[in-house]
Amino acid sequence: MKFFVDTAEIVDIRELAATGLVDGVTTNPSLVAKTGRDFFAVLRDICAVVEGPVSAEVAATEHDGMVREGRRLAEVAGNIVVKVPLTWDGLKACRTLAQAGIMVNVTLCFSPNQALFAAKAGAKFVSPFVGRLDDVSQDGMALIRDIRLIFDNYAALTTEILVASIRHPLHVVEAARIGADACTVPPAVMRRLANHPLTDNGLEAFLTDWQKTGQTIAGA
């Protein structure tokens, strides 16, 4: 499964990308606004650090505006993925942009039928928001299972399932069990995925025993 980082903060992106575990980045207007920086400067910085897909979202809500903005965003770098909302105009814009060879991420997906429409419209990625469904007492991961089942029924559907609105490590583990293509994970959750108290306890015990030997490995 691919790991995308869900942030526009370049410091976090650089740190996590240095691990070799980052396959891409997703941003949205809210995340970019938090940086307080110029939108296009943020995108250029991210694309200079990450070779994989970098999602950048349009602000327009009607077809023509989304297409104009999408074309401009795609000019920033070859790995830009244009994000459009899962509305009728968004689906039409997805079709137009995809036919022009521009990668599209259809976002704010909350139902299997929406995901199917996104795939039919030519989306490179569809982003189901599992955490927001959990927030309203629905099973977000059940949506991922349904989309995976539907997509697997039809070889012609090549759209990747990009699980979004990740709130905790269990969302990531369950998405991997289901067979989602990718997860976009906030930096804080990404870091927690590598943590376990038994790892910390074991390392502490090993280091304590090693210090008792009085030896060094690297030398003076």
Residue labelled with tokens 């419209």: 121
Which of 196, 198, 197, 170 lies closest to 183, judged by CA? 170
- Cβ–Cβ under 8 Å, residues 54 and 77: yes
Nearest CA to 46 among 86, 84, 6? 6
Positive or negative, the CA dihedral 100, 101, 107, 110 is positive
Report residue 135 as tokens.
């927030």
- 115 CB-contact burial (10 Å; exposed 0-12 / middle 13-18 / buried 19+): buried
Distance, in Å, from the CA atom of 179 to the CA atom of 176, rounded to the nearest integer, reads 5
Active site residues: 83
Residue 21 CA to its chain's centroid (Å): 13
